[in-house]
Amino acid sequence: MAALTRRLTVLGQDTEEHFMETAIKVAFASTDMKHVDQHFGAAESFAIYALTPDNVQLVEATQFGKLAMDGNEDKLDAKIKVLEGCVAIYSQAVGASAVAKLKTANIQPVKVSAGAEISELLEALQAELRSGPSAWLAQAIKRMQAPNAQRFDSMEAEGWDE
């Protein structure tokens, strides 16, 4: 089982009003926190960022320790729990069973080439948010937005005729 060995949460991430309420969170399988350099199942650590079209902030770094790509499915559950709230995980590769579990948790697995720079991936995501998100990203944003409870107030104000 992949036990979480360290978890660093960055405090003060709400420096801009409503930043964390409007930001999406994405994770990267990385040993150096600069490059995507790990397979999801054997990832030793994740760098988790929150971003909006205008801001990016590291919010969490997690560490699992050394893991083998051994087909042991138990390690996936601990990793997916750490990714709760993320819309995507970027890694070099993801196995079929991990893809299924990630999709069930509403986390999009994204495969990138070895050594892809996290800063460039974040910039590309921001550009996509500014220009109009792709289908998977638009769905992820929609899932994150809680239903507006006030929508019923306006309906009630309109009245009801039968």
For position 65, what pLDDT does the model report? 67
For position 1, what pLDDT does the model report? 45
C-alpha 55/C-alpha 140 separation (Å) is 18
For position 148, what pLDDT does the model report? 54
Is 70:21 a contact under the CB 8 Å cutoff? Answer: no
C-alpha 77/C-alpha 14 separation (Å) is 29
Length of the chain: 162
Is 39:92 a contact under the CB 8 Å cutoff? Answer: yes
Which pLDDT tens digits describe the chain residue by residue (162 residues)? 456 666 666 655 554 455 667 789 999 999 999 999 999 988 999 999 999 999 999 999 999 866 555 555 567 888 999 999 999 999 999 999 999 999 999 999 999 998 899 999 999 999 999 998 888 888 887 877 755 555 556 556 666 665
Predicted structure pTM score = 0.79
- Among 15, 79, 78, CA closest to 50: 15
Could you say which architecture CATH assigns to the domain 6-158?
Answer: 2-Layer Sandwich (3.30)
Q: How many CB atoms lie within 10 A of CB 104?
A: 9
Question: What are 136's two structure tokens?
Answer: 């998977």
C-alpha 146/C-alpha 142 separation (Å) is 8
Domain boundaries, the chain: 6-158
Q: Is 28 helix (H, G, I), strand (E, B) or coil?
A: strand
